[in-house]
Amino acid sequence: MHGFANPARFLRIARWLTPALLVSGLVLTTAALVYGLFFAPAERLQGETVRILYVHIPSAWLGMAGWSAIAVGSLVELVWRHPLAALAARGAAVPGAVFTGLGLATGSIWARPTWGTWWVWDGRLTSFLVLLFLYLGYIALAGAVSREGGSSRITAIFGLVGAVNIPIIHYSVLWWNSLHQPPSITTGGSAMAAPFLWGLLVATLGFSLLFGAVVLMRMRALLADTQAEARLRRKALGAA
């Protein structure tokens, strides 16, 4: 595990893995969206509005997965002090926030014809909105620490504390009376019909690959910034 935390080895792997994830993600996502928009059947009760699930559900999943990645990276940074752990957590923050915002937007669009309203202070929706605020807070805190030269441990602790919200989002539809439907896909099986399920799984895989590609691109950019700053500091010390 420590071997993969070596920046030089990481860059060698990321150079070929980033385009591989990006291209395969684009292909799968495009195929799933074309299927969902033009070939998937309409749902018996929701009609054509069900087609938004091919964007909404992967976005919601990646919003939660992004913060889970932040929490794991923060834990590794605090406990094992891996040099790339903080960069991995920061790399997941922006795409995680984007997918969280996309999940909220598509959920509201879906809710309007289904529930008759754009928004309700439902347990699932409220906790997911809190997740977006956590992302924005994390991004702002990480940026401030980077500019001011503070300890990244503060950001890592915030990333771990914020992970408390993930099980709340997941179980909110079971813990409280909710307009949002319970999970259709669980470890015990799926309540979703096959024509919807397979398209959704392909869309989720495609979006996940795109997420991974963006995280790697951001990590490479952050690592380049860190290395450039270190070189400037060495030059400044040498000149002094």
**Is 107 within a domain?**
yes
pLDDT at 185: 67
pLDDT at 1: 46
pLDDT at 188: 62
Q: What is the mean pLDDT of the chain?
A: 88
Q: Under a CB-based contact definition with an 8 Å cutoff, are residues 159 and 91 in contact?
A: no
Residue 142: pLDDT over 80: yes
**Is 71 within a domain?**
yes
- Ranges 138-142, 171-175, 182-186, 191-195: which has the least confidence: 182-186
**Is 207 within a domain?**
yes
**Is 240 within a domain?**
no
**Is 102 within a domain?**
yes
Q: How confident is the model at residue 151 (pLDDT cuts 50, 70, 90)?
A: confident
What are the tens digits of pLDDT across the range 63-85? 999 999 999 999 999 998 887 89
Tell me which residue has tokens 């347990």: 123
**Is 171 within a domain?**
yes
pLDDT at 176: 77
Q: What angle do CA 26, 135, 54 make, to 5 degrees?
A: 35
pTM over 0.85: yes
pLDDT higher at 92 or 43 = 92
Q: In 3D, which of 83, 16, 98, 92 has the Cα closest to residue 223? A: 83
What's the start-to-end Cα distance of the chain, in Å?
39
What are the tens digits of pLDDT across the range 111-120? 999 889 999 9
pLDDT higher at 171 or 233 = 171
Question: How many domains does the structure of the chain reveal?
Answer: 1
Query: What CATH number has the domain bearing residue 108?
Result: 1.20.120
Q: How confident is the model at residue 239 (pLDDT cuts 50, 70, 90)?
A: low
What are the tens digits of pLDDT across the range 117-133? 999 998 899 999 999 99
Give the residue numbers spanning the domain of 202.
2-10+20-235
**Is 15 within a domain?**
no
Q: What is the mean pLDDT of residues 225-233?
A: 64
